[in-house]
């Protein structure tokens, strides 16, 4: 029968898993899979680093603000009541 031996059937010809494409297709598939896994890893890593750096910068700015407030209080620029009010305000944020 002619239809069984057609050159474009899945078991034969260009669309079959024979020849150079039989080795190339799994390699391309593996490369794409590794690339997708790498992208997911970088995305998760960047999200976690971004969250941590945001918290660290927030704490650093609080520390810097408290340091300046302590220096102003030590120099006598503000009184104790103002010092306590500003300190509570800094620690809330």
Cut 0.75: pTM above it: no
- Output the pLDDT for position 31: 95
Q: DSSP character for 1?
A: -
- Output the pLDDT for position 91: 83
**pLDDT beyond 60 at 2:** no
CB proximity list for 12: less than 8 A, separation 6 or greater: 5, 6
Angle, CA 42 vertex, CA 40 and CA 47 arms, to 5°: 95
- For 14-72, the pLDDT digits (tens) are 555 556 667 788 888 999 999 999 999 999 988 887 766 555 555 566 788 889 999 99
Angle, CA 53 vertex, CA 50 and CA 57 arms, to 5°: 140
- Both tokens of residue 91? 């620690």
Listed by start position, the domains of the chain span 8-92
d(CA 55, CA 92): 14
């Amino acid at each position: 029968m002619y239809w069984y031996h057609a050159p474009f059937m899945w078991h034969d010809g260009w669309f079959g898993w024979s020849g150079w494409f039989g080795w190339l297709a799994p390699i391309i598939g593996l490369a794409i899979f590794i690339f997708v896994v790498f992208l997911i890893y970088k995305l998760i890593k960047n999200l976690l680093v971004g969250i941590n750096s945001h918290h660290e910068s927030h704490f650093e700015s609080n520390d810097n603000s408290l340091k300046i407030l302590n220096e102003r209080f030590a120099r006598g620029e503000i009184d104790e009541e103002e010092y306590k009010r500003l300190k509570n305000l800094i620690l809330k944020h």
